[in-house]
Chains A and B, each alone.
Chain A
Amino acid sequence: MSDFVSAVGIEKIYDNGSKVAALKGVDLAIARGDFAALAGPSGSGKSTLLNVIGTLDRPTKGAVRYEGRDVCALDAHAQADFRLRALGFVFQAYNLIPVLTAAENIEYPLVLKGVESGQRRKLALEALRAVSLESFADRRPDLLSGGQQQRVAVARAIVHRPSLVLADEPTANLDSKTGAQLLDLMEGLNKEQGITFLFSSHDPAVLERARRVIHLHDGELRADEVRR
């Protein structure tokens, strides 16, 4: 497996009156097909690193290369296009659009891509099927359980066939059983569709499921453990 995402010398300093270094020169390479977890306690820099890799935030120093191209140097417009083309996101708080149904939420990246409506609906239903929620297509998020909402969020993250899905504490708001089911789902998508997953967690039960665990502590990469 070749590296297709690499973070080189990433530093991130937040300046809210006093300067706080969230990342202190992190180097990290993600291979295509990885099912990797960022581990570490709260404040270790997991979310910040995910945001920087996902171009949701710009590093103070360093670069993120996606297939060799520095995506941090792109303007906001081009970064949005990059995310739409290559990335999928799953958030801790699900973050579905409350006024749209499950299927419409999933369709949204396709709307932004300009896919025509019939094709959009077809792909959204396929994605819903992949997360075993096809019968909930027309339900709004408030009528879905937390686990169902997170599965819809996963379906939204994969519907446009991204090569990398970034998930920030995806199981943190779920009970252990539902969290395990969500990990089953993500692992299945990783194996069957070859989607690379990079997710963060501080839950040992979740970290056990990753094939690679990257340990962060106080903004520094402390260990990179590959399991087979």
Chain B
Amino acid sequence: MMRLAWRNVWRNRRRSLINAAAMGFGLAAIMFGQSLILSLQVQLIEKATGSITGHVRIQRGDVDESKFPDKFMIDPEPGARLLEKDPRVSVWGRRIQTTGLISAPNASLGALICAVEPEKERLLTDMATYIKEGTYLDADGKGIVMGRKIATRLDVRLGEKVVLMAQAADGSMGAEAFRVVGLHETGSESFDGQIVWVPLKAMQEMLARPGQANQLAARLKDITQADAVAQELDAALGPGNVRAITWKAIDREIISVQAFQNAILSVVLVIVFAIVALGILNTQLMSLFERVREFGVLMSIGARPGWVVRLILAESLLLGLVGAAFGAMLGAVLIGTFGRYGLHLPLGEALSYFLPFPSVIYMHPSWRLHALACASLFVITLLAALPPALRAGRLKPAEALRHV
């Protein structure tokens, strides 16, 4: 049967080639879309968690906005002990993140102050790699690292002093002078224009909170374990007012963006596959109409109706195989090319307002999703061929033989 089906596929070579090409281009477009969205999502998560959020965080349970835990101080040590002994944690650090005021002789600005343990933070986030002028923080010093944009707005240069002010947990204002030791340039308006970095110890002194922090941020060896790690940490932390959360609870907008992108991809997928399905349906209906007499002959020499149905489905499946092979190759070449040379996306520039995000995306394949797209193509191919196949199966031999 397969030999006859294969030859039938190529009976009208041009039509089959156009059809296979349509399927192939459709599949390649889907694979490209899947890879693009996945690469964007992976890069978005990597950049968000790698710039500031971390994979898992321990903080007070009553923090109302996780991006700004402000005055919700905790004793970090019980959590620190848990993180230290968890083999899934790659690196962790204590932090105080708070909003405050930064003043220079000529100007003042509101800013998000990130007080960190510098040596741990170097491994926890990649902010140290963005320093273009000066050095990173010294744990025992009173240095401050800020974006070039803040420095320009404050009219301060490397080596000059600024004063930070922030509200302590008791409501009083803490203030401290810091010397500008490093200027970074991430390309992100939010990071370069709104965030400053200081050593944790200096901030604890400034807020009169020695040994305290308002969060513990951890980077895991494998981000996909974040939920499991957070759950176990949560259980181990006990019933108190300190809990473990994942990056998903902090960067909720990324999850929304992911859901939105996935929804758009699904719609595109449905549209592309609908076009492919209509192409197959059209081809098989035309092919059926052209070969009614031939099906009559096959039935007269003893082919069962089910055999004729299977023949048409086999033809469609073979055509689908050719289209899928072509599409998979084309898709792999596209993804490989843009994986190697990168794809310039204006979207990167838009996203970089919120976080450091490159405007060039390096695409990588998602074999599971691509395999799913191929499988869907086969299913669609078979489903589209089903109506003409069933119609052929219902032909009456004598009527089919009379067909002109």
Contacts and interface: CB of A to CB of B under 8 A. Distances in A.
Contacts of A91: 297, 401
B320 interface: no
A95 B307 contact: no
Interface string A38-67: 000000000000010010110000000000
A100 B306 contact: no
A77 B305 contact: yes
Contact of A76 (B7, B296, B305, B399): B305
Interface string B13-24: 000000000000
B4 interface: yes
Contact of A95 (B11, B293, B303, B398): B293
Interface stretch (A2-10, A25-33, A81-89, A205-213): A81-89
B235 interface: no
B36 interface: no
B3 to A, nearest CB: 8
Interface in A81-114: 81, 83-85, 87-89, 91, 95, 97-100, 104, 108-109, 111-113
Nearest to B397: A56
Contacts of B297: 89, 91, 95, 97
B181 to A, nearest CB: 79
A145 B302 CA distance: 26
Q: How many interface residues does chain B have, given as a range?
A: 20 to 34
B4 A113 contact: no
B305 A156 contact: no
Nearest to B294: A97
B398 A57 contact: yes
A91 B294 CA distance: 12
Nearest to B399: A57
A99 B305 contact: no
A88 B399 CA distance: 18
A37 B203 CA distance: 111
Contact of A112 (B10, B303, B401): B303
A57 B396 contact: yes
A112 B398 contact: no
Q: How many interface residues does chain A have, given as a range?
A: 20 to 34
Contacts of A77: 304-306
A115 to B, nearest CB: 12
Contacts of A84: 301-302
A174 to B, nearest CB: 19
The binding surface of chain B is classed by DSSP as helix
Interface in B287-322: 293-294, 296-307
Given A77-B306, A80-B303, A112-B302, A57 B11 contact: no
Contacts of B1: 111
B401 A56 contact: yes
Contact of B11 (A80, A81, A98): A98
A19 B297 CA distance: 27
Contact of A51 (B10, B304, B398): B398
A112 B302 CA distance: 7
B194 interface: no
A77 B394 CA distance: 11
Given A57-B397, A77-B306, A95-B293, A100 B301 contact: no
Interface in B16-63: none
Nearest to A55: B397
Given A57-B396, A112-B307, A89 B300 contact: yes
Interface of A: 51, 54, 56-57, 76-77, 80-81, 83-85, 87-89, 91, 95, 97-100, 104, 108-109, 111-113, 156
Closest 9 CB pairs of A and B: A84-B302, A57-B398, A99-B7, A56-B397, A56-B398, A51-B398, A80-B304, A95-B297, A83-B302
Interface of B: 1, 3-4, 7-8, 10-11, 293-294, 296-307, 396-399, 401
17 contacts: A51-B397, A51-B401, A54-B300, A56-B396, A57-B396, A88-B301, A91-B401, A95-B294, A95-B297, A95-B401, A97-B294, A97-B297, A99-B11, A108-B301, A111-B1, A112-B307, A156-B301
Given A56-B396, A99-B8, A99-B11, 19 more contacts: A51-B397, A51-B398, A56-B296, A56-B300, A56-B401, A57-B396, A80-B303, A81-B302, A83-B301, A84-B302, A88-B301, A89-B297, A91-B297, A91-B401, A95-B297, A100-B4, A108-B298, A112-B301, A112-B303
